[in-house]
A and B are shown apart, each in its own frame.
Chain A
Amino acid sequence: MKTSKVASYFKMPKLSYRVWRVWRRDQDVFMKTYKVNFIPPLVEPIFYLLGLGLGLGDFVQLVGNVHYIDFIAPALVATSMMYSSFFECTYASFVRMYYQKTFDAIIATPVSLEEVIAGELLWGATKSIINSTIVLGVILLFGLVHTPFFLLILPLSFLVGLLFSAIAMCFTAITPNIDSFNYPAFLFITPMFILSGTFFPMGGLPVAVQMLANIFFPLTHAVMLTRALTLEGLNPTLLLNLSWLLVTTPFFFVLSINMMKKRLIK
């Protein structure tokens, strides 16, 4: 009984090409207001680079002679992956599910609920690609990219975006109301933003916090990978970071779809 209950959260969803119909719907909405949508990822990193990178950077001495601005630039790319996908599949998905009843309208057609959720997750991952690519463009213009491996950030942003979308969708499946997204936003996303080796090397943190960040924070791994891909290129330890992402992403992808099914199909 108990094992079958756990197993019901990891049932393989049956997906078809119809997932893309849902993705297309979200993309259509995005394209209607694309000019406005491009502003935050374009402007925000500029302020971080000027304020933290140049302003604070003068006071910071890093090991290995890395400039502080070079150190935080890839982290800005990684955090944009996190924020864009996480907020897409929490607040935005919740609005579509709860207020607009968009999911109800779609599942009355040959598209299934599993496909609706998968489409939302893929759209969240797409938002991660779009936003992080814009941030990447900014740091390229600032001359903060030092290896051609940066091109691999594109596929990486899809993977990281899909993971954060799926984690976000798990919260969407259990949140009683839209205000309750404050909990994951401030207790999970904000600490991650600060403690994942984003603005200072992890080595300065207490060992327990370091372990925590390595085990539980997807952003830690995303930052390690993006930093390598803009600063020094590939190294073997990156395989650990990549493996972490490759294991957790399908786990949360399947889990979030099943959790949403339990919320919406009584």
Chain B
Amino acid sequence: MQSEVVIEAEGLTKKFGNLVAVDSLGFQVFKGECFGFLGPNGAGKTTTIKMVNCVLPLTAGKLTVAGMDVIKQAREIKKMIGVAPQEDNLDPDFTVLHNLIVYARYFDIPKIEAQKRAEELLRFVQLDEKSKVLIDQLSAGMKRRLILARALINEPQILILDEPTTGLDPQARHLIWDKVRSLQKEGVTIVLTTHYMEEAAQLCDRTVIMDNGKIIEEGKPSDLIKKHVGEEVLEVAYDEEVLKFLKNAFPDARLDVVSDRIQVFTNQPRGVFTQILNKFSFKAAMIRDANLEDVFLKLTGRRLRE
């Protein structure tokens, strides 16, 4: 079903001086899917997508977008990509509407068409009432939505979203997610980076988890969860005796002690924790679904980055 490859990397490497930011990555993004780069800060996610977007030259390796080489055919590739960068680089000298009109000009979109698309896009991201407002009067969520609208002005086939919801409140975040889903339905290929696991689980068909410039795992979010942390997690308050008991009860499980809590991960099917809890009572015990965050922390560790 997913046959046509739109982005393909082979041995993709980027060095800044001695620092290897991206270390011989290989990945494929298929047409129409939502592909996520997950990783802690400094993992190399943004560096990778900047190379896809042809604004950062490669140190080594090969990278093609729609079969075109990112170095030789940068202009052609940039025409078909829309980018919503992590940093706010909206033009503070212009109003909301004029930001889109000026941006359309860089894509050679004729003025009348630009006006039409800009108005449509402002409705799409629910900013039509703000069209005459200057950028610094927008909230963070509105700015993100405008950046999304701007990324769509050239009707891109590939949409790149770099941390699209960082710093947003839940309302603004869900609105962005809705828009991303509806774009994917229209057939737009979406590449996003995030360190919000819920975001990746909600949106992505496939993800790669990056750490220190390398891809350390790859797959569907649900498969990754099952593979690495099972279906359910048991959490109880830390106690020496309880820890000993759990170790005996679940000899194959992974037990993590995180501050004052014990987390138990097991490959056994749903329900084993309920059986235990029915027999014994632990202080502050709870059973929850395993999630991508558990996978992420397992694979990348708990050490703080940067």
- Are A and B bound to each other? yes
Contact A21 B105 (CB under 8 A): yes
Q: How distant is the Cα of A18 from the Cα of B94 in the complex, in angstroms?
A: 20
**Can you spell out 6 A-B residue pairs with CB atoms less than 8 angstroms apart?**
A107-B55, A109-B106, A109-B107, A110-B79, A265-B55, A266-B56
Interface 1/0s, chain A 52-93, versus B by CB < 8 A? 000000000000000000000000000000000000000000
| Chain A residue at smallest Cβ distance from B79 | A110
By size class, the interface of chain A is 20 to 34
Pairwise interchain contact A110-B94, C-beta atoms closer than 8 A: no
Q: A101-B87, A104-B87 are in contact. Are A32 and B55 (CB under 8 A)?
A: no
Assuming A28-B93, A110-B106, A112-B75, what are 4 further A-B pairs, CB within 8 angstroms?
Answer: A21-B105, A25-B102, A105-B103, A108-B55
User: Beyond A18-B106, A21-B106, is A108–B94 a contact (Cβ under 8 Å)?
Assistant: no
* Nearest CB in chain B: distance from A125 CB, A: 20
B92 interface residue, CB < 8 Å from A? yes
Chain B neighbourhood of A189, CB < 8 A: none
Binding site for B on A (CB under 8 A): 18, 21, 24-25, 28-29, 32, 100-102, 104-112, 265-266
**Does chain A have a CB within 8 A of B278?**
no
Assembled-state Cα–Cα distance A18/B74 (Å): 15
A109 to B151, CA, bound (A): 10
Within the complex, the shortest CB–CB distance from A122 to chain B, in Å, comes to 16
Most chain A CB within a 10 A radius of its CB, from B16, B56, B108: B108
In whole angstroms, what is the CA distance A32 to B103 when docked? Answer: 17
Q: Which residues of A contact B90 (CB under 8 A)?
A: 105
Nearest-neighbour CB distance to chain B for A31, whole angstroms, equals 11
Q: How far is the CA of A18 from the CA of B107 in the complex (A)?
A: 9
Contacts of A266 in B (CB 8 A): 16, 56
Determine which of A21, A25, A108, A112 lies in contact with B83 in the assembled complex, contact meaning CB atoms within 8 Å. Answer: A108
Chain A: minimal CB distance from B148 (Å): 14
- Find the A residue at minimum CB distance from B108: A110
A108-B53, A108-B78, A266-B16 in contact; A28/B106 too (CB < 8 A)?
A: no
Q: Given A110-B106, A112-B75, A265-B56, do A29 and B89 touch, yes or no (CB 8 Å)?
A: no
